[in-house]
Structure 1
Amino acid sequence: MNTRHATPDKDAIALLEPFERLGLDRITLVNTGPQACAAHDALVVAQAWGFDTESKPTFRVGESSDGPHVLQLSTRERAWVFQLHEPECRAVAADLLARSGIAKAGFGLGDDRKRIIHKLGIEPAGILELNTIFRERGYRKDMGVKGAVAVLFNQRFQKSKKAATSNWANAQLSESQLIYAANDAYAAICVWDALQQSTG
């Protein structure tokens, strides 16, 4: 297929109606063993998850990140935000990401994959880079979550720069961090769903 599509620019996206994000009532913070087990049981029944990670930013030249510090997985109903400083949460996160048969869809996942292998000691299975699907459909450049939401839903996905560059290694995440992290994964599963329907 040789059709080429333009990716919408920032100005065009800014004019769109906002994408409806998950509120805190549909976001579960996972930072204990029992919470991780409950999240595991809820997630393994799904066919696919939206997937992303967050790492504490590095500011000094040569400083390497020991992230990811947070893993977020989402279905269409709910998102789970795992804090990976807790050993039991890390173990469950590793089990989920190594599980085959469940697609894990997201944007710009190359760096996430490398960090996961380093931090959790597993090769993630079923990773689905959504940018690749858009390229196959004739979009010239990496779409990213904002472009994908604009193209598929004609809506504007809001991302907080402050939350993006916040300290994800904090023992206690703020509400804005939870909303930011969860919705990156939630938007990815919404995009994956829409792409599946458009090929079906």
Structure 2
Amino acid sequence: MPEKIEAPLKEEIALLEPFKGVSPNNIIVPTTKEQSTKAVADLFRHRFVGFDTESKPIFVQGQKSDGPHVIQLATLEKTYIFQLHYPESLKCITQLLETTQIIKVGFGLKSDRAQLHRKLGITPKAILDLDSFFRDEGYRKDLGVKTAIAVVLHQRFRKSKKISTSNWAREQLTPEQLSYAANDAYAAIKVFHALNKPESAFPIVDLT
């Protein structure tokens, strides 16, 4: 049996150059029918897009989350932040997540799929969880986005716990929230493209 691959240590990752994230000019929050239609048309031009969700955190034991509240889809050029309290965003997200024409790429997506099924009654299709890919490659544990960025791009990806546990259900997200959400999805698609492998090399779920 081949020896498992160890991920780089936190101390090693800390020495790497910082990851260059999404420019604020390339983060788009569709709120109208026209903006949403334009976003969908752009995303359908791509076979693979970065994917992630954000939910308002739960601090009371036993309370269930009513998230996700935000869904992010990213290309190498643009990152779209869909807030689900906008009716047009809700329509678009259902269309985008149920299509098999677009493969949604991310990390640790099992919980995201379960939440989306519970909240929206849909099962996202054409899902590529890069954690599964790296396990197949021989890594001992799930890498997650921070370690994958270090392994593949040799860069340091920073995530703020303060922002990750902020209120994602608010009507208007802060610039810090938009940046955090956008870069989670953008980092996933950056890793995917840097791997430079054919579609058949990846464990894509519900492609048909």
TM-score with structure 1 setting the length: 0.96
Match of 1:171 in 2: 171
Map Cα deviations across residues 39-65 of structure 1 (whole Å, 9 max, x no partner): 101100101010000000000001111
The CA distance in 2 between the partners of 1:101 and 1:42, in whole Å, is 13
* Contact 2:107–2:131 (CA under 8 A) maintained in structure 1: yes
Tell me the equivalent position of 1:196: 196
* SS at 1:122 equivalent: coil
SS in 2 for 1:80: strand
2:67 is matched with 67
Superposition deviation, residue 3 in structure 1: 4.4
The residue that corresponds to 1:41 in the other structure is 41
Structure 1 residues 3 and 103, CA gap change in structure 2 (3 angstroms): farther
Instruction: Find the aligned partners of 1:121 and 1:31 in 2 and give their Cα distance.
Output: 22
Match of 1:149 in 2: 149
| Segments ≥4 residues shifted beyond 3 Å | 196-199
User: 1:35: how far off?
Assistant: 1.8
Within 2, Cα distance between the matches of 1:129 and 1:74? 15
CA-based RMSD: 1.6
Q: Matches of 2:66 and 2:57 in 1, distance apart?
A: 10
Aligned length: 200
Q: Give the stretch that moved more between structures: 118-127 or 65-74.
A: 118-127
Structure 2: stretches of 5+ with no match in the other structure: 202-208
Instruction: Find the residue that maps to 2:183 and give its secondary structure.
Output: helix
2:139 corresponding residue in structure 1? 139
Q: Measure the CA separation in 1 of the matches of 2:23 and 2:49.
A: 18
**Letter of the aligned partner of 2:182 in structure 1?**
A
Q: 1 CA distance for matches of 2:78 and 2:90?
A: 20
Distance in 1 (alpha carbons) for counterparts of 2:177 and 2:94: 22
**Counterpart AA for 1:40:** V
Distance 2:32 2:62 in 1: 33
Determine whether 1:99 maps to 2:124.
no
User: Which residue of 2 is the match for residue 52 of structure 1?
Assistant: 52
Distance 1:32 1:82 in 2: 11
3-state DSSP of counterpart to 2:196: helix
Rounded Cα–Cα distance in structure 2 between residues aligned with 1:2 and 1:9? 21
TM-score (norm 2): 0.92
How far apart are 1:4 and its partner, in Å? 2.2
- Matched residue SS, 1:30: coil
1:68-91 per-position Cα deviation (integer Å, ceiling 9, x unaligned):
000000001110000001122111
Partners of 1:164 and 1:32 lie apart in 2 by 26
1:121-162 CA-to-partner distances (Å, cap 9, x unmatched) read 211110111000001111000100000000001100011111
Shift of 1:197: 3.7
Identity %: 51
Q: C-alpha distance in 1, partners of 2:58/2:144? A: 22
Instruction: State how far apart, in whole Å, the 2-side matches of 1:108 and 1:39 are.
Output: 25
Contact 2:96 2:102 in 1 (8 A): no
User: SS state of the match for residue 13, structure 2?
Assistant: helix
